[in-house]
Amino acid sequence: MRKLMLIVAAIAIAAPALATVELGIVNNTDGTADITYNCTAGEAVRAFALDITVDTGTIDAVSGFKTGESVTGSLGYGIFPGNFRDYINPATPNWGDPNYTPIAPSGDPDALGGLGTAGVTIELGSLYVDANAPAASGTLCILDISDTALMCVTLNTSRGGVVLEDATAAPTNTLPVCETIVAGNPPPACWAAPLGASQCHADTDGNLTVNTADWPAFRDSFLKTYPDPAYNPCGDYDRNGTVNTADFPAFRDNFLKTVAADCTIGGTWPPTTP
């Protein structure tokens, strides 16, 4: 029995640590999307290698990543490691050079097509020392797309995937993650977060209560259709491009009530009129 206990203990000690690293996509409703990360437990992350694809159109630009001293500090994740090797002279770095990007060159092994195509491989890391590790969550970069599309993020394991502080630790990830990204003109503020979260219930000012302050948006644009200047999208509770009797029950049934913030954010804008 004692020998068995010692064997079990040895196995437990040898087992790798686990780290939960969640990756996400934030739809900015203006043709851009934030690629986010959240390290919920375990080891810190040194670097990411991710494949990002869209099912229609192209990925046209990348921004919002860190450069300069932030690559080695606590401000976040910067380009690493392929493009630093390929483009940057460490002695005289020019951080404004457009080649300084987290997009892996398309000719690199197992890298996707790059900007102007339907898929990119991004590589971001931080060469920090323990005292100034990046925050446990944040935005890695921002991507611009040409058309409304379903964007997906997966690990590029052949180029590193998620590289942890402890190389023996095993990351667990909820991937792939996908999100429909809206390109073109952003919807009106009352259709977007945070106001739009309750607008479908006739709450036009986003205070989660339907009262007389919400009435004018419907009243003044009744029977008006986009692009009539009198059309008010805030009174168009079903977001179909016209304010009519189909919208009225939302106000009538919720008047003087508290409503939920559970509306679908956004809509087709400009709207496709009935």
Residue 257 is predicted with a pLDDT of: 96
154 shares a domain with 80 = yes
Domain boundary among 181, 206, 236: 181
245 shares a domain with 200 = yes
pLDDT, block means (10 residues), the chain with 274 residues: 33 51 87 89 80 93 76 64 57 68 88 94 81 81 89 92 75 78 80 87 94 96 93 95 96 96 81 69
Per-residue three-class SS string for the chain? CHHHHHHHHHHHHHCCCEEEEEEEEEECCCCEEEEEEEEEECCCEEEEEEEEEECCCCEEEEECCECHHHHHCCCCCEECCHHHHHHCCCCCCCCCCCCCCCECCCCCCCCCCCCCECEEEEEEECCCCHHHCCCCEEEEEEEEECCCEEEEEEECHHHCCEEECCCCCEEECCCCEEEEECCCCCCCHHHCCCCHHHHCCCCCCCCCEECHHHHHHHHCCCCCECCCCCCCHHHCCCCCCECCCCCHHHHHHHECCECCCCCCCCCCCCCCCC
163 shares a domain with 43 = yes
| 269 in a structural domain | no
Residue 89 is predicted with a pLDDT of: 65
71 shares a domain with 140 = yes
Residue 141 is predicted with a pLDDT of: 92
Residue 2 is predicted with a pLDDT of: 38
- Domain hosting residue 112, numbered range: 17-181
Total tally of structural domains belonging to the chain: 2
39 shares a domain with 170 = yes
61 shares a domain with 151 = yes
Which domain CATH number covers 168? 2.60.40
196 shares a domain with 162 = no
95 shares a domain with 207 = no
210 shares a domain with 176 = no
167 shares a domain with 65 = yes
